[in-house]
Amino acid sequence: MNRIAEIKVSYINRSKQTEKITCSSDAHQLFMTHWDMDIIDLQEEFKILLLNRANKVLGIHNLSKGGVSGTIADAKIIFSVALKCNASAIILAHNHPSGNLKPSEQDKRLTKNLFEAGKMLEMAVVDHLIITSNGYFSFAEDGLIQ
């Protein structure tokens, strides 16, 4: 008889934090406490903020670290992490080492695709922030996420 691998899914929330995200500024401030300021202008990173139904923070996941001009944002991994944590919503963030806050066409396409995938899973993609050492850009505030 062939043995099939057992898949184990677990999530442990050891934090007593009940911080609530009410706007993009809240998300930006929280992301900045988890960003390495020594490399924010050097290396691109992608992070996910996981939220419950009340927009209370479940945690932050460091998705990827790339090079000077890009990093990987794999939808399968993004949503598998969110589903594993039983998140109801997510906020995406990545930095632009160039300091340019304007979203690229690739940034816009990625955000649109993740927003649509989230709708299928009944998981809201609330916002996508582009972060630099001098500020941030919010897709939601700019009307690029409906």
Q: How far, in Å, CA of 121 to CA of 108, rounded?
A: 20
Query: CATH classification of 19-61+112-146 is 1.10.3720.10, yes or no?
Result: no
Q: Which of 55, 66, 33 is nearest to 123 (CA)?
A: 55
Q: How far is CA 33 from the centre of its chain?
A: 14
Q: What is the pTM of this model?
A: 0.89
Length reported for the chain: 146
pLDDT of residue 12: 66
Q: pLDDT 10s digit of each residue in the chain, 146 long?
A: 678 777 666 666 666 657 999 999 999 999 999 999 999 999 999 999 999 999 999 999 999 998 888 899 999 999 999 999 999 999 999 999 999 999 999 999 999 999 999 999 999 999 999 999 999 999 999 999 87
pLDDT of residue 15: 62
Give the Cβ contact number of residue 46 at 10 Å.
22
Do the Cβ atoms of 44 and 96 come closer than 8 Å? yes
pLDDT of residue 5: 74
Q: Looking at this protein, which amino acid is placed at residue 134?
A: N
Return the domain boundaries, the chain. Answer: 19-61+112-146
